[in-house]
């Protein structure tokens, strides 16, 4: 029987998937431009990098190691992509935004798949 924490984790992965889809939609629409406060985007990128690095070095049990590494790696990758938005020319913004969205969509899909395949959800025979 799934616990409340496990169901919250599933909801979290679904939200990450939807956030990634929103970023892809913004990148495709072409309605993105140079941010008015690039320092905020740089701070956001640094926060994502720190959060991902902290999650990467955290000790996890062997059964939860792969999902934790996927979450940490996606945070680092999205942090690097967000850092590139104010630093690269304007024509690369939709590509960087779309790439960050793709990373988050893949993280959400992998998180849901790994959640569904976990031992804790299988009925005991």
Highest mean pLDDT among 28-37, 100-109, 111-120: 100-109
d(CA 64, CA 84): 31
Give the sign of the dihedral formed by CA 35, CA 22, CA 18, CA 78: negative
**Looking at per-residue confidence, does 56 or 125 come out higher?**
56
Give the sign of the dihedral formed by CA 97, CA 53, CA 113, CA 66: positive
In this structure, what DSSP letter does residue 124 have? Answer: P
Averaged pLDDT of the chain:
87
Q: Report pLDDT for 60.
A: 78
Q: Report pLDDT for 19.
A: 92
CA trace torsion 50, 56, 60, 65 (10° rounding) = 140
pLDDT band for 62, please (50, 70, 90 cuts). confident
Q: Report pLDDT for 31.
A: 82
Task: Say yes or no to pLDDT of 100 above 90.
Answer: yes
Cβ–Cβ under 8 Å, residues 99 and 81: yes
Which residues have C-beta within 8 Å of that of residue 114, sequence separation ≥ 6?
66, 67, 70
């Amino acid at each position: 029987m799934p616990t409340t924490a496990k169901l919250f984790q599933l909801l979290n992965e679904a939200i990450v998937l939807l956030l990634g889809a929103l970023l892809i939609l913004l990148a495709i629409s072409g309605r993105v431009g140079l941010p008015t406060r690039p320092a905020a985007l740089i701070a956001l990128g640094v926060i994502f990098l720190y959060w991902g690095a902290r999650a990467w070095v955290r000790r996890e049990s062997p059964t939860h190691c792969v999902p934790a590494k996927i979450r940490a790696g996606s945070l680092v990758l999205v942090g690097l992509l967000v850092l590139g938005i104010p630093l690269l020319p304007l024509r690369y913004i939709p590509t960087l935004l779309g790439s960050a969205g793709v990373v988050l969509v893949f993280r959400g899909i992998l998180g849901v798949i790994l959640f569904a395949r976990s031992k804790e959800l299988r009925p005991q025979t």
